[in-house]
Amino acid sequence: MSSATEPSFESRHSALWHGFADMGAVTASGPFVVARGDGAYIYDRDGNEYLDATAGLWFTNVGHGRREIADAVATQLSSLAHYSNFGDFVPETTSVLAERLAEIAPVAGSKIFFTSGGSDSIDTAAKLARRYWHEVGKPEKTLIVGRQKAYHGMHVAGTSLAGIPVNHENYGTLMPDARTVAWDDAKSLLALIEEVGSDKIAAFFCEPIIGAGGVYLPPDGYLAEVRQICRDNDVLFVADEVVTGFGRIGGSWFASSRFDLAPDLMTTAKGLTSGYVPMGAVFIAPQIAEPFFAGGAWWRHGYTYGGHAGAAAAALANLDIVERENLLQESARLESSLHTYLAPLADHPRVQEVRSGLGAVAAIQLADPAEALPFVKTLREHGVSGRAAGQGAMQISPAFVMTDAQVQELATRILSALG
């Protein structure tokens, strides 16, 4: 696009500090600038087309370029951008959204606490779990348990309770009272409860599918088993559905509904608005909310932009699209089509395994994790925007509008990138 004499757009833009990046490397090679999106595709500034294998960071569930959501936000902003949800204030649209979410909640009668994104949702849930036990006379229940490989966002609580050590090294102690157990063995949760005593444990955080940690599907029966262990030992079960919520799991709004987990708390974000604007929500089961709704117990917690009216308008328009276009069913279709077209890639010598078959997600695990970052760039040369997750896995989490033909094309392009 730029002429030979003009410095490129990329070289003229060096102020941005990217998230999760080696900025020396990004500066040396230049950023990958995304100019626009349409359905399951994104385009760079030169108009090159890429199949969006990841739906951004797992969020563009309804696909890119939905005018309907943009219009809903514009209409809302021109009447009331936002006000407040502290005390007794609430924008009208935010209140409507809370009722709509309560209707689809995995636990009937849930309350909805709005946040500005997934990390806010996690820290909200971690604080609420501890405050709940305080309210019911067990203030010594403060330990929060997570799983190895798990990712729970980048605020202090989420960083501490997640199971990716490189993310919390070299800061000193972030949140004390956080422990992790094996990601795939319910007995290790039981062993920790026996070691420290259930009278010390507030909550267990569980991603139904481990996402950013590398896309690991739960072993058969694992989710039901850890849910029961929490129930038996008076430990709150927190389903982190920031990735799996709003249809990513295939066939249902939430993994918690599909697996009948009845979480005490459920954290969400991403698919709530399909990422058109930032928003998160924590779903709180009635028995956990009860002490705070009985009167006299303030919860001194909230975010200026929690329940932002413009974001609420985006969420309502997004949920309308999911319902009208049967995108929960489309996600279920992708569950099997991703498996059908991607599983054969496991035969390639550079691939160790393909994890697929649950939800509209998959991972192509490279045999050599050191190849992951260069491979992301090779994928681009083959018309795929991809992303490395965990230890050398290629994350696949497309928009629910990706057709089977596009999935087949995705597999073909990945195969040609593998060489």
Span from 2-10, 63-71, 111-119, 291-299 in contact with ligand PLP (CB under 6 A): 111-119
User: Which SS3 state, helix, strand or coil, does residue 352 take?
Assistant: strand
Span from 118-126, 302-310, 318-326, 356-364 in contact with ligand PLP (CB under 6 A): 118-126
Which of 52, 207, 264, 330 lies at the binding interface for ligand PLP (CB under 6 A)?
207
Q: Does 151 bind ligand PLP (CB under 6 A)?
A: yes
Q: 144 forms bridges with which residues in the sheet?
A: 178, 203
Q: How far is the CB of 120 from ligand PLP (least distance, A)?
A: 7
Give CA torsion, residues 227, 125, 172, 150, to 10 deg.
40
User: DSSP string spanning 165-194?
Assistant: HHHHTTS--SSSSEEEE-SS-HHHHHHHHH
CA distance 51 to 416: 14
Q: Does 243 bind ligand PLP (CB under 6 A)?
A: yes
Span from 91-99, 146-154, 218-226, 315-323 in contact with ligand PLP (CB under 6 A): 146-154
CB atoms within 10 A of CB 133: 21
**Which CB atom, from 55 or from 332, has the smaller least distance to ligand PLP?**
55
Which of 64, 66, 82, 152 lies at the binding interface for ligand PLP (CB under 6 A)?
152
Q: How far is the CB of 154 from ligand PLP (least distance, A)?
A: 6
Which of 52, 123, 240, 330 lies at the binding interface for ligand PLP (CB under 6 A)?
240
User: Which SS3 state, helix, strand or coil, does residue 365 take?
Assistant: strand
Task: Enter the tokens of residue 111.
Answer: 């309350």
Q: How far is the CB of 101 from ligand PLP (least distance, A)?
A: 17
Q: Does 131 bind ligand PLP (CB under 6 A)?
A: no
CA distance 245 to 59: 10
Which of 91, 106, 118, 247 lies at the binding interface for ligand PLP (CB under 6 A)?
118
Q: Does 254 bind ligand PLP (CB under 6 A)?
A: no
- Does an H or E element contain 389, and which? strand 388-389
Q: How far is the CB of 229 from ligand PLP (least distance, A)?
A: 21
Task: Enter the tokens of residue 113.
Answer: 């606490």
Contact track, ligand PLP, 265-304, x by CB under 6 A: ----x-----------------------------------
Query: Residue 208 in contact with residue 256, Cβ under 8 Å?
Result: yes
- Does an H or E element contain 331, and which? helix 327-342
> Do strands 280-284 and 265-268 pair parallel, antiparallel, or not at all (unpaired)?
antiparallel
Residue ranges that bind ligand PLP, judged by CB under 6 A: 57, 117-119, 122, 151-153, 207, 211-212, 240, 242-243, 269
